[in-house]
Chains A and B, each alone.
Chain A
Amino acid sequence: MGTWTWFHKLSSPPHFYRIAGKMIPWFAIPAALLMAYGLYAGLVLAPADYQQGDAFRIIYVHAPAAWLSLMCYSVMAVAAAVGLVWRIKLAHALAAATAPIGASFAFLCLATGSIWGRPMWGTWWTWDARLTSQLILLFLYLGYMALRSAYDDLGKADRASAVLAVVGIVNVPIIHFSVTWWNSLHQGSTVLRKGGPAMPPSMLIPLIACFFGFTFLYAALACVRVRAEVLRRERNAHWLKDLTAPRLGAQ
């Protein structure tokens, strides 16, 4: 019962707006620390790979970006589903706030992969299952964002885009398992694999730090963006007028 009331309280916009604001430093500071350590240790301190040389270091951006692009989509789809079923507007707000972040990570993943692929594989791009499904993920994000902006009515935009987000979730397991289900040019996963990570700790620890750092970065960005989304939606609400009145009066 306790969690239920907490959940209910969280779905009130003023309360949510305040909580999200308070959470920002709790996500942003760990993100900055972990990313600073992970990127420095990965890009500078970690040993080079015996075959790929320094080119392997792109993994410290590529793999966390790939993970975030999938995690953001899952967050977006679950939030959209909650919004559809329980008619919680804040859930739609979270999905809408997450989409551009996820799209950015998906793009970063494709771009870094392409830069690595040219010297290592011998091609910038190829239509193998992993690359193609990841490109579809980027298009799903862009489609979601385009669909939202096609409606003037916020309620319609929320519902229509939520259906797209929920349907697109089938692509997430396809991306993850594409390298096991079919033979592909892209290698299997290094960290989550049978028999443990295929990397020594000197390379692995900075990578794990980057994974967590990027995840905290998402959380911080999501808090900032979802607050902006709440402001936009509640621009005529009394609580917001009360919140801004003293500041506006002081000017």
Chain B
Amino acid sequence: MTPRQKRLWTLVAVLVGLGLTTAVALKGFESNLQYFYDPSEVHGGKAPTGKSIRVGGMVAKGSVVREPGNLQVQFVITDFAESVTVKYTGLLPDLFREGQGIIAHGQLQDGVFMADEVLAKHDEKYTPPEVAKSLKKRHEGMGGSANAPASATTMEGTPR
């Protein structure tokens, strides 16, 4: 083997080893690398209790209840299998609305998730307003839900 070939194979071996090690490490840390738990995991007991976690899901239709006179808000997030009730006091991001994916940070107390931060998740779809409107109209005409426009709502990656 010439020195050049030796260097080439050393490099290839290092890269393969490094790739495998990284894959194993990432697999090992998988649960730490997840940004949030979904409601099914919360109900399945996979989410730790007694410490701060993030829970992500879609804000259920008609579940948002605002306290008049202050910033307190209560809503239900769902992954279409299970759901979690969230209580939060503070300003909500622009994209927060019913049918939108959100991620709440806080603690689970007596089955209610007491959030100290609520972030809106945006999906990868982009739609001009006219298209969104006509999609919605067509969808409603077909007797579908008002959920229609481009379903900017699904928590992609939720069912794993």
Q: Is the C-beta of B128 less than 8 angstroms from some C-beta in chain A?
A: yes
- Answer whether A48 and B128 are a contact pair too, CB < 8 Å, given A122-B119, A122-B120, A123-B119: yes
CB <8 Å contact, A183 and B35:
yes
- Chain A residues contacting B19 (CB-CB under 8 Å) are 170
Q: Is the C-beta of B132 less than 8 angstroms from some C-beta in chain A?
A: yes
Number of A-B contacts (CB under 8 A): 128
CB <8 Å contact, B126 and A49:
yes
Q: Is the C-beta of A51 less than 8 angstroms from some C-beta in chain B?
A: yes
CB <8 Å contact, A122 and B7:
no
8 Å CB contact of A187 from B22, B26, B121: B121
Q: Is the C-beta of B85 less than 8 angstroms from some C-beta in chain A?
A: no
CB distance from B79 to the nearest CB of A (A): 11
- Chain A residues contacting B38 (CB-CB under 8 Å) are 183
CB <8 Å contact, A202 and B118:
no
8 Å CB contact of B124 from A47, A128, A174, A190: A190
- Answer whether A121 and B122 are a contact pair too, CB < 8 Å, given A85-B11, A180-B157, A183-B34: yes
Cα A34 to Cα B133 in complex, Å, equals 32
CB <8 Å contact, B120 and A121:
yes
8 Å CB contact of A85 from B7, B22, B94, B117: B7
CB <8 Å contact, B128 and A200:
yes
CB distance from A231 to the nearest CB of B (A): 28
Which residue of chain A has its CB nearest to the CB of B123?
Answer: A187
Residue of A49, A59, A86, A203 contacting most chain B CB atoms (<10 Å): A49
- Interface size bracket, B side: 35 or more
Q: Is the C-beta of B92 less than 8 angstroms from some C-beta in chain A?
A: yes
CB <8 Å contact, A85 and B128:
no
| Chain B, 107-149, CB within 8 A of any chain A CB | 117-133, 149
CB distance from B12 to the nearest CB of A (A): 9
Q: Is the C-beta of A155 less than 8 angstroms from some C-beta in chain B?
A: no
CB <8 Å contact, B126 and A56:
yes
Q: Is the C-beta of B58 less than 8 angstroms from some C-beta in chain A?
A: no
- Chain A residues contacting B34 (CB-CB under 8 Å) are 182-183
| Chain B, 23-41, CB within 8 A of any chain A CB | 26, 30, 33-36, 38
- Chain A residues contacting B119 (CB-CB under 8 Å) are 121-123, 126, 185
CB <8 Å contact, B132 and A184:
no
CB <8 Å contact, B122 and A85:
no
Cα A129 to Cα B30 in complex, Å, equals 11
8 Å CB contact of B127 from A85, A179, A180, A200: A200
CB distance from B21 to the nearest CB of A (A): 9
Q: Which 5 A-B pairs have the closest CB atoms?
A: A122-B93, A47-B128, A50-B132, A198-B125, A50-B129
Q: List 16 A-B contacts (CB under 8 A).
A: A49-B127, A50-B132, A51-B132, A52-B126, A85-B11, A86-B4, A121-B119, A121-B121, A129-B35, A179-B157, A182-B30, A183-B34, A183-B155, A185-B36, A185-B121, A188-B157
